[in-house]
Structure 1
Amino acid sequence: MWMIPTVAGTSSRRASSLKRLGQRMNVRGLARRFAYAFGKASHYLREEGIQAVVGRFARRLQRQYRQARPSANYRAWRNAFEPNAVELQRQTLWSQQVNGPLFSVWTTVADGLPLKNLQQYLKLTADSLARQTYSNWEWIIVSDRPSAEILDLANDESQIRVIATNEADWIGHPKGAFVAKLNLGDRLPPWALFAVADQLDEDSEIDVLYGDHDVWTPTGQRCFPTLLPDWSPENLLEANDIGNTVFVRSEFLRTCDDKPTSSWETLLLAAERASRVCHIPQILYHRCPETESRENAEDCMAKTLVRRGINGQVERQPNRRLRVTWPVDSLKTVSVVIPTRDRFSLISTCLDGLLNQTAYPSLEIILVDNGSTDEDVLALYESLNGDDRVRLVNFDQPFNYSVACNIGAKAATGEYLLFLNNDIEVVDPDWLTELVRWGERPEIGVVGARLLFPTGKIQHAGLALGLTSVAGHLFSNVPPGTPSPLGDSESLRNVSAVTGACQLIRTQLFWDVGGMDEEFRMTYSDVTLCLKIWQQGYRNLYTPHATLVHHESATRPLGDSLEDLELFVDFLVKRGIDRDPYFHPALECLATTPRFRRTDEQNTIEQLACWIDRFQTTTQPQTQTELEQAA
């Protein structure tokens, strides 16, 4: 163990003089900060209006409140589920018995950091490395002009090296098989390197690994936990939620033509070139906000778009995340399939929104009517006879949602299929353009929109398996932007499934997986469609930038059919699906707004297992060949 010396004290007279000087400088500093804040507020007031300024102020107060009073749920979860002393001892013994990879952890020390702060932050990071249960690591400190304190630290410990160079030239120096950046003052929990080594012991082909993180405040509180989904490349186009500490295979970095200059850029390159990326669902580092470096997000994303050949635009949103857009091919037709019956007020509102309030020009509407008798609805159909954009398909059978969707899809002529409920109301003219923008991406399967209740609260922001029952809506019945450890409803996110109330997919891909499964009469065929496509290697996507109002199930009752529920559980068993990769095992299964579980609460994995046990069939999971044939 090494010690970092402290700064010697000054005389009382000098201290008094410095205090008076500091007070005078502090007054000037406060005045500058006030002028800066007033200027920013004036700018936002002119550009965005009073509502945006109030919203920014409220969000900042909320962040400060959460930091001052860390979540009791998070504290309880840490005490119950993070590795205890016995587990840490087991990890130490394991590490001594295996010949695991060397990890090169590197930290950049900027010039001009006050000596006292430098010593403090060096000690925080150094002590966290010394406490690792996995000991095969080196710490590389990168500095243009390393101070005496840094050099003394390296002289005392063989696992620490100092490289007198700038940050851009460090990449050729690490000896380790994997490298990870750790900001000065950031800390690794004792199990961090073991967790990475253990994962690599199971799968040696992984190129990039990342975990969850939180903030360790100067007062010693752990707060702001950020839990992450499994690998979600589309999320990275808005923000680097993964953070700075990412473990990357050294060989992968050396083979990149464009050497990444930040962790965000490394992750974006990994989305393009890495063979395997792994998420470890544990807190793997503690951020130090005081030393956090700011990445030039717009420049980073602009470089990414050029590298990927996308003629896109990058804009900063009010929530400080980015939004990337690009022109869409509006000549490709979207066939909107709407199963419907009666309910004039609903279908007339839905059709008016599609025909008169939607900016995307190339669409056809296929009304799959299940025996409407309402005179106003029949008169509406008659009035639309001359509109080439609308076709009526009669469905004179007992209602089956899946059959109705397939009948409408067979009548469609468009390159895209959009399955839409008849109780949807258009409130944003660009909603369909946004869905097509992502639907035309070859790596994307099914795209879903942000659906709101008429009250303005979230109805749908993607689905998670095992949430509330076997599958549930994220952030349901809370205001947009409600925070959680897993983000909020206003972020672009990869999901396992999106609701069939608004579901866009390429027509060819829909038929490639066999369309809707007609065994499901009322529910879950929309979810199984998404899961079949996900198992084919496509990623499903929820976008908050397409907003609709959903008067949910106004045409048919809420609730799951028991037969459909049993069929869905059987589907999961046959497909070998036992968890949601985009939800987190630290979260409990009944709260649609993600929150940490208690010891007496189940997570979604355990919830799914209970449903599978309840409806267990004799059918065993299929082989990979059988899965491909089934899809």
Structure 2
Amino acid sequence: MAREPAETGGPKAAMRPGRRIAAALTLARNPRRTGFVLWSWIAGRRLRARQALAALIGIDHRLTLPPGILDRFPVAPPVPDADIRVLTAPGHALVADAHETFAAAFAADPTLHALYGDALVQGTPGGPVLPLLRSAFDPALLMAVDDLGPVLALRRASLPTASLDPSRDIPAMAAAFRIAERFGPAAIGHLPGIVSIWRPWMAEAADAARGREPSREARLAIVRDHLDRTGQAGARLAIDGDGVIAVAHPLPDPPPAVTVIVPTRDRLDLLRPCVASLRGCTDWPEIEILVCDNDSREAGTRAYFQALEGEGAARIVACPGPFNFAAMNNAAAAFARGKLLAFVNNDVEAFEPDWLGRMAREALRPDVGAVGAKLLDGAGRIQHGGIVLGTGGLVTHAHRHFPGDAPGYGARLRATHAVSAVTAACLVVEAAKFRRVGGFDAAHFAVDFNDVDLCLRLSAAGYRTLMVPGAVLHHREAASRSWTPDACARHNREIVELRRRWGPLLAQDPHYHPGFDPDRSTHARLRAGFFADEAALSVRRPSY
């Protein structure tokens, strides 16, 4: 009998020997934090203990399922259907009720033209099983990795067979792009449930022309054709050793000016290396730096401001009064000369010169709003990989505490992809788009969640939010903040307002699968009972 999926990744889950030794050393070197973890566990606060342990020693994926899980998903041969065509490939088999599920979803919504679901993968006969849990349709992610195929159901009338080139070995990917081009991305829906089983070894005896994996050349050709058909012929493509495709969109000639906005109150120990990195490690022809000064008093800080202005390296924008992160950034944005705004916290440091160029290429696209970067914490682990709604009690950073070089679930720490929000610790947006939605909401989100709210308002205005993992910076999160009783009260008010304003979206992020445990670091563990209640989940679609 199969174990419940919730057991995978539990306290007894296997850990690689090297990582086990490193974790033990970390625990020994941090007795106070280790004691807090133990005390929380003994006191019955297991969730807090798990979160504190992840912050201390890091976390990784624990998603492996026992082979017996496949007994719950018997497969069946394809069902002939005059209205629905199901694209697949050798080694992939539909589960018994998949066709019925597809048909019901199409019947319920005439605006749906294609559907895909999730899969279970068994890499070797009798071996462990891994879940492929997908997000709502994302053209950016599909260009980078084939996150969708090869199982795709589509209405026959939506895309005649003549539109597909039968010589290519991944027609599902090509079909998805063509449907999105013809009807819009929202015409493609995701069913959050297991619809197919993938046994790669079974493809070895199948058609050798298609094989187990689509060729890189075929994927590049499909992406190239999609870009050419959608007016993006100037984009350059590159593919890395793991098969992740990077799309470099062209920049105007000359590239526009960028205004980098850095709020601070003293903390010269943070501000000086931040500004030095922006000046010395940013490969961009024209940037201006605006430092928002919130009543800095230390003599060293004042002298540093004078030196910056004397050298013409930065302008200082006075932002007096109680600390209001959103208002400070808005005030500086009003003085900005750049076409692009780059909001950067004073505890962020650049170390790869191309960070701004990678983000600017995306932010300058007409349908893109906010753009975020991959941020690493002081231990070199992932601090930010996008923001996921509805996890960690409210929102949380994707892949937080994962190793800094981790590829991420479905290559999401390598592939540019859509997210619901990104942190304002490093956020790039066109000034005109920022002003069009009214900037940050300083009245309701003075310190926290102003970035989430901005991204969701940009989304409501028709702009996508993108996460660009190729742009990497260091971030010592909240190193310059302190939690007073007033700060806690303000934080609680902002939580109430975020729930009031964006409650339905907080219930389920379309860019994150509901099968993951919402109380752990994202993509790390499966939610208890997911396979039991997945039938109750509805079709998910992008909002753009």
Which interval holds the TM-score relative to the shorter structure?
Answer: 0.7 to 0.9
Once residues 572 and 75 of structure 1 are traced to their aligned partners in structure 2, the CA distance between those partners, rounded to angstroms, is 38
Match of 2:395 in 1: 471
Structure-1 residue corresponding to 2:335:
411
Amino acid of the residue matched to residue 458 of structure 1?
A: I
Partner of 1:596: 526
SS at match of 2:471: strand
Match of 1:333 in 2: 257
Q: Secondary structure at the match of 1:253?
A: coil
Alpha-carbon deviation of 1:317? Answer: 1.6
Q: 1:176 aligns with which of 77, 82, 87?
A: 82
Q: 1:368 to 1:293 in 2, by over 3 A?
A: closer
Task: Kindly provide the amino acid, as one letter, of the partner of residue 424 in structure 2.
Answer: G
Secondary structure of the 2:76 match is helix
Structure 1 residue ranges without an equivalent (≥5): 1-69, 84-126, 139-174, 607-631
Residue of structure 2 in register with 1:6 after alignment = none
Identify the residue that residue 189 of structure 1 maps to in structure 2.
95
Tell me by how many angstroms 1:482 deviates: 3.6
Q: 1:540 aligns with which of 465, 471, 475?
A: 465
Paired residue for 1:219?
A: 125
Q: Which residue of 1 aligns with 2:246?
A: 323
CA distance, structure 2, for counterparts of residue 319 and residue 339 of structure 1: 38
Which letter maps to 2:509? D
1:233 aligned to 121, 130, 139, which one? 139
The answer to whether 1:283 aligns with 2:203 is: no
- Give the C-alpha shift of residue 368 in structure 1: 0.9
Checking the alignment, whether the CA contact within 8 Å between 2:84 and 2:103 is kept in structure 1 is no
| 1:426 aligned residue | 350
SS at match of 1:187: strand
Shift of residue 334, structure 1, vs aligned partner: 1.4
Q: 1:300 aligns with which of 204, 207, 222?
A: 222
1:451–1:207 Cα change, 3 Å: same
CA-CA distance at 1:186 after TM superposition = 2.0
Letter in 2 for 1:524: F
Partner of 1:49: none
> Are the counterparts in 2 of residues 77 and 598 from structure 1 also a CA contact under 8 Å?
no
Q: Give runs of aligned pairs for residues 438-517 of structure 1, distance below 5 A.
A: 438-482=362-406, 487-517=411-441
Q: Give yes or no for contact 1:370–1:397 (8 Å, CA) kept in 2.
A: yes
Root-mean-square deviation over aligned CA pairs: 2.9
In the alignment, does 2:496 pair up with 1:571?
no
TM-superposed CA distance for 1:219, in Å, is 2.0
Task: Give unmatched runs, 5+ long, in structure 2.
Answer: 1-60, 204-211, 537-544
> Offset of 1:204 from its aligned partner?
1.6
Change in 2 beyond 3 A, CA 1:439/1:602:
farther
Contact 2:459–2:465 at 8 Å: present in 1 too?
A: yes
Q: Which of residues 506, 509, 512 is equivalent to 1:583? A: 512
Q: CA deviation at 1:515?
A: 1.2
Q: Report the alpha carbon displacement of residue 248 of structure 1 after superposing the two structures with TM.
A: 2.0
Matched, 1:554 2:474: no
Cα distance in 1 for partners of 2:429, 2:462 equals 15
Q: Check 1:590–1:306 CA distance in 2 against 1; reply closer, same or farther (3 A cut).
A: same
**1:308-358 Cα distance to aligned partner (Å, 9 max, x none):** 333222222233311121332353121111111111121111111112220
Q: Counterpart in 2 of 1:374? A: 298
Quote the Cα distance in structure 2 between the aligned partners of 1:427 and 1:351: 12
After TM superposition, give the deviation of residue 490 of structure 1 in Å.
2.4
Q: Distance in 2 between matches of 1:206 and 1:398?
A: 50
Per-residue CA deviations over 1:445-489 (Å, capped at 9, x if unaligned) read 110000001221110000101221200011111203546655542
| Distance in 1 of aligned mates of 2:257 and 2:346 | 20
Partner letter of residue 214 of structure 2?
A: R
1:259/1:76 CA distance change after superposition, 3 Å: closer
Deviations 1:571-608 (A, max 9, x none): 223x76532111111111122141211249999xx9xx
Q: Is the 8 A contact 1:238 1:322 kept in 2?
A: yes
Answer whether contact 2:265 2:296 (CA < 8 A) is retained.
yes
Equivalent position amino acid for 1:379 in 2 = A
Conserved 8 A contact 2:64-2:131 = no
Deviations 1:402-423 (CA, angstroms, capped at 9, x unpaired) = 1111111111122111111011
Task: Please tell me the residue identity of whatever aligns with 2:250.
Answer: P
Secondary structure, counterpart of 1:511 in structure 2 = helix
Cα-to-partner distance string for 1:62-89 (whole Å, 9 max, x where unaligned): xxxxxxxx96764599599x78xxxxxx
Mark the CA change 1:572 to 1:74 in structure 2 (over 3 Å): closer, same or farther: farther
3-state SS of paired residue (1:268) = helix
Alignment partners' CA distance in 2, 1:389 and 1:377: 15
Task: Name the CA distance, whole Å, in 2 between partners of 1:77 and 1:441.
Answer: 47
Q: Which residue of 1 aligns with 2:183?
A: 274
User: Separation in 1 of the partners of 2:260 and 2:140?
Assistant: 25
- 2:8 is aligned to none
Other structure's SS at 2:512 match: coil
State the distance in 2 between where 1:402 and 1:601 align.
Answer: 42
- SS of the counterpart of 2:260? strand
2:76 is aligned with 1:129: yes
Q: Secondary structure at the match of 1:517?
A: coil
- C-alpha contact 2:344 2:424 (8 A) present in aligned 1: yes
- In structure 2, the residue corresponding to 1:384 is in which secondary structure? helix
> 2:283 touches 2:353 (CA, 8 Å); kept in 1?
yes
**2:221 aligned partner, one-letter code:** D
Matched, 1:435 2:359: yes
Contact 1:71 / 1:223 at 8 angstroms: preserved in 2?
no
Change (3 A) 1:77 1:273: farther
2:198 aligned partner, one-letter code: R
Matched residue, 1:57: none
TM-fit CA distance, 1:265: 1.9
CA-to-aligned-CA distance 1:415-441 (integer Å, 9 cap, x gap) = 111111011111110000000000011
CA contact (8 A) 1:481 1:490 kept: no
Distance 1:241 1:420 in 2: 31
Percentage identity across paired residues of the two chains: 28
1:527 shift after superposition: 0.5
1:520 aligns with 2:445: yes
Residue 263 of structure 1, aligned match among 146, 156, 172: 172
Q: 1:321 to 1:514 in 2, by over 3 A?
A: same
Q: Distance in 2 between matches of 1:576 and 1:588?
A: 17
Q: Which residue of 1 is the match for residue 112 of structure 2?
A: 206
User: Counterpart of 1:193 in 2: which secondary structure?
Assistant: helix
Tell me the matched-pair count. 449
Q: Distance in 1 between matches of 2:195 and 2:354?
A: 40
Normalised TM-score (structure 1): 0.66
Q: Do 2:387 and 2:398's aligned partners in 1 also have CA atoms closer than 8 Å?
A: yes
Kept in 2: contact 1:208–1:274 (CA 8 A): no
Q: CA deviation at 1:272?
A: 2.3
Letter in 2 for 1:571: R
Q: Higher RCO, 1 or 2 (CA under 8 Å, sep at least 6)?
A: 2
- Taking a change above 3 Å as real, the CA distance of residues 326 and 79 of structure 1, as seen in their structure-2 partners, is closer
Q: Provide, for residues 145-175 of structure 1, a one-character-per-residue CA deviation record: whole Å limited to 9, x for no partner.
A: xxxxxxxxxxxxxxxxxxxxxxxxxxxxxx6
Distance in 2 between residues matched to 1:380 and 1:406, nearest whole Å? 23
Query: Contact between 2:249 and 2:362, CA under 8 Å: does it hold in 1?
Result: no
Structure 1 contact 588–602 (Cα < 8 Å) conserved = no
Contact 2:290 2:332 in 1 (8 A): yes
Equivalent AA in structure 2 for residue 591 of structure 1: R
- Higher Cα Rg, which structure: 1
* Residues 602 and 209 of structure 1, relative CA distance in 2, 3 Å threshold: closer
